[in-house]
Structures are given as C-alpha cells and as structure tokens.
Amino acid sequence: MAVSERRGGRRLVISPQEPLVGGGPAEEFERRVQTLFRDGFRHLIADLRFVPAIDSAGIRALVRGHTTAQRLQGTFRIVQPTSAVQTVLRLGRLDSVLSTYESVEEASATGLPWGALRLTIAAAALCAALVAAGNAWPEGNEAASPPLGPPLLQLAKLIAAALIGMLITSVHRYTRADTPHTHTMDQAQVLLCVSGAMMMVIIGNSLARAFGIAGAASIVRFRTPVDDPKDITILFLLMGLGMAAGLGAFAVAGLGTVFLCVCLATLHRFGGQRQRTMLVEVVAEGREFPTAHVQRVFASNEIVFEPREVSQGSSAAIQYQAAVSPGISIEDLSAQLIGGGGTGVKSVSWEPAKRPI
C-alpha cells in the first residue's frame, strides 16, 4: 500500500494513496497507524484526500486509530475525506465521532485541552464555594448559622458531599486513563462520599446513634474485589471528605478536596505508568501450538510473560501471565497474534490477572 508520511507541525501526517478496503490496503494502513502509536507518536493526522473508496475494514482502521489515540491521551484527526468516504462515515454515524478538518494546517493547529480546563475550573469553583461557606458559617457557631432551615441545611451538606465525590472521581478517572474504572466503581466512590455525610448528619452529637451505625456498618461487605491499593485509599479519603461535609465543616472539605486533587495530579505526573498484569489464553488452530510465533510477538512488544496452564484437546491452548505496558493496545496484540490467519492461532482472550508477576 502506498502511504506517505510528513510532519505537520507537532503532528505526523499519514496519507494513504489508494482505497482503504479489505484484503490488504486497509489492514496495512491499520497496522501502520498502530505501529506509529507504539513507536511513541501521540498526534496523527490521516490525510484522506487521495482515498477514493472505503469499506468496513477501512472504517475499522479509522475507529481503532481514534480509540487508541484517546487511550493514550493523544489525537487522531482526519483531513478532507472524499465524498465517497464522507458518505460511508455518515451512514455509519461516525462523522460526529471522528474529528474531521478541511486542511492539514487546520488539523495541525494545537487546540486547548478543554476537558482538563473544564475540570480545573469546576474544581476551583467548587472548592472556592466550600471555603467561602466555611468561613461565612463556621462549624458549631450557631450565631453564624446559614439562613437555611435545618432540613435545607442538611440537604446542602449532602449536595456538597455529592459534588466532592463527583469531582474526585473525575480527577481520579482522568489520571487513570490507562486503566479505566467501571461505572460501578465510579458510582460507588460518589455514593461513599455521600454516605459519609449522611452518617454524620444522622449521628449529630448522639453517641448511641454512632454505635448503632457502626454496628449496622459491620455487617456490610464489599462483594466486588478492589485490586489496586490506591483505589481503596481513595474510598477512605472520600469517606473522610463526606464526613467533613456532613459536619458542616465546608472549609475543611473544600481545602481537603483541593489537596486531594493536587495529590492525584502530582502522582499521575511523577509516579510513572504502571504495567497491566493480564492473563492471556492463546488457542491454536490444531494440536500443534505456534510457540515461536507467540513468543516473537511478545518479545517485539517488550512483554514479560510466563506460561501458566497448558491444555491439549482437539486444539492446543496455553494461558500466559503477561505484564503489558499501558501504551500497548490489547486489541492490537490480539491482531498480531492471530495475524489474519496463517500464524496457527485461532483465538486470543484477555482478562486482568489476580496477582502481578
């Protein structure tokens, strides 16, 4: 496949010169894009002015480029697709998902990180409001109590706890792009912060209520295992912030939220990226397992692996435990192992390992 590459400012422009269709050209373009991402490029531009046609294989290559760029916190932009390509994108409702530009110069312009800016502005606004509320109505000062009735004041505490939980969860998710949380974990973090506030609202100054809630909480068990110690720590910190909001110590809750957000951002910036420990089961097409091919793919991607289980039936299968870098796509590894047929690998399945190597 004829593909030209050139620099477009801080971005690399890749220009296919023939139809992106299955049977060779689309697959080669997809491999080239994924290889560039693995080589360290984070901002790619696909110049489609010379692509007269595209099919499902070409669409898959574009979508994989887009999803890989998102996972690596990069960009994958499309320039001037032809009318035939635009029609296919529109029919697949991808014209609003993939970033399309009229020229390479426009696509090369560096835009502001609006997502991070919005998150920062929201964090600053929430924390400033909490600190202002805490200074205006100090905890325990009845004379300076806010002009709200008791029910509305308790509701304000719960709302403050919910906002704190959503903010911390957003920052945590942003700094954990390599290992996205499930929606259940995100919701649990927010609700745990609210539960801390709710407990402090209910307890008030009653020691009997405190013992009652402690007894009820002792029978609650988490059924979903939390593998990362950092996630467990975040849960405890969110509980503490929720309790501060429940007590009406808004200034403490606001400053604590600022401190925790800064800590998460600092750890993300200087803490390095953690390798993912995965269990991968490779099933051969017959009884002969392509060990050399599998080991060659792992070695070329700098994956530390260890065979764990071997099964032999109508087809051979080996389960490996592998340490995979965050910058490597699991989907791309599977494609390399299967290789479009002819490698001797029939299927590949991945799942997180319980214990690291």
DSSP H helix total and E strand total for the chain: 12, 9
CA–chain centroid gap for 137, Å, is 38
Q: Over 50: is that where the pLDDT of 180 sits?
A: no
Q: What percent of the chain has pLDDT over 70?
A: 75
Sign of the torsion formed by the C-alpha atoms of 131, 132, 138 and 139: negative
Q: Which of 51-65, 107-121, 180-194 has the highest mean pLDDT?
A: 51-65
Is residue 78 situated within a structural domain? yes
Q: What is the CATH number of the domain that holds 49?
A: 3.30.750.24
Q: Summarize the confidence of residues 33-57 as an average pLDDT.
A: 85
The stretch 141-168 carries a mean pLDDT of 71
* Residue-number span of the structural domain to which 297 is assigned: 276-352
* Whether 65 contacts 44, CB under 8 Å: yes
Q: Please tell me whether the overall predicted TM-score, pTM, comes out greater than 0.75 for this model.
A: no
The angle that helices 25-38 and 56-71 make with each other, rounded to 10 degrees, is 10
Q: State both tokens at 90.
A: 């529109």
In a domain, 327, yes or no: yes
**Domain identity same for 168 and 196:** yes
Which pLDDT score is estimated for 357?
A: 44
Is 201 among the domain residues?
A: yes
Same domain, 171 and 231: yes
**Is position 9 within any domain?**
yes
Tell me: do 345 and 304 sit in the same domain: yes
Res. 128: pLDDT tops 80: yes
Same domain as 81, residue 131: no
Structural domain includes residue 30: yes
Q: Give me the chain's average pLDDT, please.
A: 77
CATH code of residue 328: 3.30.70.260
Same domain, 150 and 287: no
**What residues have CB less than 8 Å from 246, skipping those under 6 apart?**
157, 158, 161, 196, 197, 198, 199, 200, 201
Higher-pLDDT residue of 182 and 78 is 78
Please tell me whether residues 149 and 222 are part of one structural domain: yes
- pLDDT of 95 reads 78
**Residue 54: its pLDDT value, please?**
92
Q: Are 125 and 149 contained in the same domain? A: yes
- pLDDT at residue 281 is higher than 80: yes
Number of domains in the chain: 3
- The verdict on 156 and 72 lying in the same domain is no
Whether 357 is covered by a domain: the verdict is no
- Give the end of a domain, one of 270, 300, 327: 270
Residues 139 and 85 in one domain: no
Residue 271: what pLDDT? 57
Residue that is last in its domain, among 270, 291, 313: 270
pLDDT band at residue 340 using 50, 70 and 90 as cut-offs: low
